[in-house]
């Protein structure tokens, strides 16, 4: 019986450990489709390297837009923060530039604002990580951009993080202050506390004291006559209290002399204006968007108008952090998430308006939980990237309620 029980336990443990699939998403699938589609769009995301050594840099550049379709069910977008999604501090963020301005902290945004960002990271912990840029907006949450695996290899020199202080001194932020005062001072307080505790609990029995204390009132310790708390105990506790005060005073004098210049934590938040966009030549309206789950096909009817001087093409379609480009084959080109076909083929001439039927086959959107079937809010937002003959792009935000094709 015991052997069977042990076998069952081991089997269960083994199945749990070895049958669990690796987690490849970072929680974005738990966000509703309308949240991810209608709030922040990402495009032109590039990673400068796929493999770096500890201490080496990798940069992530891209564009994030606070879409005009920001839902009314959310508070207006005001404060945002660009960061990365990674399993803990596997990387350090060494620089963050948004629309040409250094942005160490959060910044103030506006609906419709376009933010070109550049993050400079340094590899810190060896391993392979799926890294995404993220755009967090207060009261909406963190929206995750396109990701890529980055491998950090071990450096023979290990890893250090030198930072220069105001006085020119360089410290290694990985371990600065760790010995003293972080652990040293803290351990001293612990030792003092242990001395206090051991004075009472080592020489004096604990459990059997109840027989005596239960016969005294709460505010009466019996004094020296009973012996629960004696004059000697009082003297010892006074000495420990004095040692506490001396430790505090000594520590205070030390920090005041060792670090004469200190400032409080800073809140450097400011407004970053939206990036200047090229002149508008393309406008578009999404007339209809349907999804056939059986056929695994998403179809969009888009009325595109070209007010520019040259013909324009639909270069890409962006849904949240996904990018689709024109293509016919089942193979997805590198750097994008899928393909679509446009009918009728051909450009939209200058001055013309054309109704385009954009068809996307495959399960990419549904796999990424971006098709809002079965939800109360079936709004789908797509950012259409039109490019003219001069290679200038217009990113047009379009939105329409999804018409699902039921089985």
Partner 1 sequence: MASVTADLKARGRAGELRQLLGKKYRYIDRKWDIMFWVTAAFVVGAAADITKQLFAGDWDFWTDWKDAQWWPIITPFAIIIIPSALQYIQWLAWKFPTGAVYTTVCLWLCVELGRWLQWRFFVYYPINFVWPATAVLAGIWLDWVLLKSKSWVITSVVGAMGWTFIFWATNYIILAPFLQPVSFMGHTLTLADVQGIEYVRTQTPEYLRLIEQGSLRTFLGETLYVALAFGATVSIAGYWIGQFIGRMLAIWPIGKFAKKV
Quick one: 91 or 281, whose CB is closer to partner 1? 91
Three-class secondary structure assignment of 197-230? HHHHHCCCCCHHHHHHHCCCCCCCCCHHHHCCCC
Least distance from C-beta 284 to partner 1, angstroms?
A: 32
The answer to whether residue 157 forms part of the interface with partner 1 (CB under 8 A) is no
The answer to whether the CB of 349 falls within 8 A of the CB of 383 is: no
Distance CA 66, CA 1 (A): 63
The answer to whether residue 25 forms part of the interface with partner 1 (CB under 8 A) is no
For partner 1, the binding residues in 266-285 under the rule CB under 8 A are 266-269
The residue whose two tokens read 């980055």 is: 150
For partner 1, the binding residues in 189-248 under the rule CB under 8 A are 189-190, 192-194, 196-197, 200-201, 204-213, 215-216, 218-223, 225-229, 234, 237-238, 240-241, 244, 247-248
The residue whose two tokens read 């217009």 is: 394
Least distance from C-beta 42 to partner 1, angstroms?
A: 16
Quick one: 255 or 373, whose CB is closer to partner 1? 255
- Give the interface segment with partner 1, choosing from 30-38, 78-86, 308-316, 324-332 (CB under 8 A): 78-86
- Give the interface segment with partner 1, choosing from 1-9, 46-54, 145-153, 174-182 (CB under 8 A): 174-182
Cα-Cα-Cα-Cα dihedral sign, residues 315, 317, 323, 328: negative
Going residue by residue from 80 to 109, which x/- string records binding to partner 1, judged by CB under 8 A? xx-xxxxxxxxxxxxxx-----xxxxx---
Distance CA 44, CA 375 (A): 30
β-pair partners for 194:
none
Quick one: 18 or 259, whose CB is closer to partner 1? 259
Query: What phi-psi label fits residue 168: left (phi over 0), alpha (psi between -120 and 50 degrees) or beta?
Result: left
Least distance from C-beta 12 to partner 1, angstroms?
A: 24
The answer to whether residue 71 forms part of the interface with partner 1 (CB under 8 A) is no
Tally Cβ neighbours within 10 Å of residue 190.
10
Going residue by residue from 120 to 139, which x/- string records binding to partner 1, judged by CB under 8 A? ----xx--------x-x-x-
Distance CA 401, CA 117 (A): 31
Query: What phi-psi label fits residue 63: left (phi over 0), alpha (psi between -120 and 50 degrees) or beta?
Result: beta
The answer to whether residue 20 forms part of the interface with partner 1 (CB under 8 A) is no
Least distance from C-beta 99 to partner 1, angstroms?
A: 14
**Chosen residue from 12, 177, 278, 335 binding partner 1 by CB under 8 A:** 177
Quick one: 32 or 95, whose CB is closer to partner 1? 95
Distance CA 237, CA 196 (A): 7
Distance CA 111, CA 38 (A): 11
Distance CA 72, CA 67 (A): 12
The answer to whether residue 154 forms part of the interface with partner 1 (CB under 8 A) is no
């Amino acid at each position: 019986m015991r052997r069977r029980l042990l076998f069952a336990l081991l089997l269960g443990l083994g199945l749990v450990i070895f049958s669990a699939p690796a987690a490849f998403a970072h929680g974005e699938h738990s966000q509703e489709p309308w949240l991810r589609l209608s709030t922040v769009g990402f495009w032109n995301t590039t990673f400068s390297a796929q493999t770096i050594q500890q201490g080496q840099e990798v940069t992530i550049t891209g564009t994030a837009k606070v879409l005009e379709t920001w839902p009314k069910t959310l508070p207006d977008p005001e404060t945002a923060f660009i960061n990365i999604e990674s399993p803990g501090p596997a990387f350090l963020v060494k620089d963050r530039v948004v629309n040409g301005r250094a942005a160490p902290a959060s910044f103030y945004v506006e609906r419709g604002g376009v933010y070109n960002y550049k993050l400079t990271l340094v590899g810190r912990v060896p391993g392979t990580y799926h890294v995404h840029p993220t755009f967090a907006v207060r009261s909406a949450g963190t929206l995750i951009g396109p990701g890529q695996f980055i491998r950090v290899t071990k450096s023979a020199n290990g890893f250090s993080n030198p930072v220069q202080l105001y006085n020119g001194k360089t410290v290694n932020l990985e371990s600065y202050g760790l010995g003293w005062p972080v652990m040293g001072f803290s351990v001293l307080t612990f030792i003092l506390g242990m001395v206090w505790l051991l004075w009472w609990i080592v020489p004096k029995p604990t459990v059997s004291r109840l027989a005596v204390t239960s016969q005294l009132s709460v505010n009466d310790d019996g004094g020296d006559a009973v012996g629960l708390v004696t004059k000697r105990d009082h003297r010892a506790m006074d000495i420990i209290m004095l040692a506490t005060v001396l430790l505090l005073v000594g520590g205070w004098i030390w920090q005041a002399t060792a670090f004469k210049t200190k400032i409080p934590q800073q809140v450097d938040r400011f407004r970053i204006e939206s990036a200047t966009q090229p002149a508008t030549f393309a406008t578009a309206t999404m007339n209809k968007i349907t999804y056939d789950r059986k056929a695994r096909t998403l179809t969009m009817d888009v009325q595109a108008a070209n007010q520019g001087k040259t013909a324009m093409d639909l270069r890409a379609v962006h849904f949240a952090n996904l990018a689709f480009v024109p293509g016919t084959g089942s193979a997805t080109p590198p750097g994008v998430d899928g393909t679509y076909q446009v009918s009728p083929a051909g450009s939209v001439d200058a001055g013309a308006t054309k109704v385009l039927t954009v068809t996307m086959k495959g399960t990419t959107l549904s796999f990424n939980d971006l098709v809002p079937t079965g939800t109360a809010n079936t709004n789908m937002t797509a950012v259409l990237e039109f490019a003219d003959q001069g290679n200038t792009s217009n990113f047009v935000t379009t939105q329409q309620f999804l018409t699902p094709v039921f089985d």
